[in-house]
Amino acid sequence: MSAPATQPHTDPTGTRRPSARTSRLLLTAAAATLTASVVAELLAAAARGLGVTLSAGEHGAAHAGALGVGALATGVLICCFWGTLLAAMLNLRAGRPRRTFTRITVVLTALSLAGPLSATATPGARATLVAGHLLAASIVIPLVSRALPATVSEERFVTRPGYK
C-alpha cells in the first residue's frame, strides 16, 4: 500500500522527498514569484518611461535614494520567499491552509503599504510603489492559495510522524 499524498515519500536510498502537494505548492509559488517580479519591473519601467523619478527613503529621511532596475523585483522575491515558507508551514500544520494563508497574506499586504505611503518619495514614486505592492499581491496570493488544500482531515495530524 502506498503512502498518502500528504506524507513525504522515501525513495529506495532512504532519502525523504516532499509530497506531490508540497511539490505543487513550491512550483506554483516559484512561478507566481517570477511572474510578479517581472510585472513589478515592467511597472517600474513604465513609470520611468512616463518620467516618474523612482526614488524613496525611509520614513522621515531627509533624502530619497534612487531605486535602480531590479529594486521592485528584489522586494517581490524577498516577500515571496517568506510567503512561500508561510504557505509550506500552513500546508503541514493548518486545518484550513487556504483560508489561513489568504487571510494572513492580505493583512500583511495591507501592512506593507505603510512603507511606501510613509516613505520620503515623490507622489509618482509613492503611487508606483503602492501599485507594485498591490499588483504583486494580486498575482501571488490567489495562485499560491489555490495550490493549498481548502481543508485537511484531522487524521493527517494523527498519522504524520512527529505530530501529535
pLDDT digit of tens for each residue in the chain (164 aa)?
A: 444 444 555 556 555 555 777 788 889 999 999 999 999 999 988 988 888 777 666 655 556 666 778 788 888 999 999 999 999 999 888 889 999 999 999 999 999 888 778 777 788 888 888 899 899 999 999 999 999 988 876 555 545 555 55
Q: For residue 129, which phi and psi values (nearest 5 degrees)? A: -65, -40
* Nine-digit cell string for 84: 512561500
Q: For residue 56, which phi and psi values (nearest 5 degrees)? A: -150, 155
Asked if residues 109 and 134 have their Cβ atoms less than 8 Å apart, the reply is yes
Query: Domain for residue 76, yes or no?
Result: yes
pLDDT the model gives residue 124: 81
Name the DSSP class of 2: P
Task: Calculate the alpha carbon distances from 95 to 23, 99, 110 in Å.
Answer: 19, 9, 24
Residue 58, helix vs strand vs coil = coil
Query: Domain for residue 60, yes or no?
Result: no
Query: Domain for residue 27, yes or no?
Result: no
**Distant-in-sequence, close-in-space partners of 4: CB < 8 Å, separation ≥ 6:** 156, 159
Q: Give the start-end residues of each E strand in 2-106.
A: 9-10, 16-17, 55-57, 65-66
Task: Calculate the alpha carbon distances from 100 to 4, 85, 89, 91 in Å.
Answer: 23, 14, 11, 10
Query: Domain for residue 105, yes or no?
Result: yes
The residue range of the domain holding 137 is 69-151
Q: How many residues does the chain have?
A: 164
Q: What is the value of pTM for the model shown? A: 0.74
pLDDT the model gives residue 1: 45
* Nine-digit cell string for 3: 503512502
* Nine-digit cell string for 85: 515558507
What is the rounded CA–CA span in Å between residue 141 and residue 98?
A: 10
Domains: count for the chain? 1
Query: Domain for residue 108, yes or no?
Result: yes
Query: Domain for residue 116, yes or no?
Result: yes
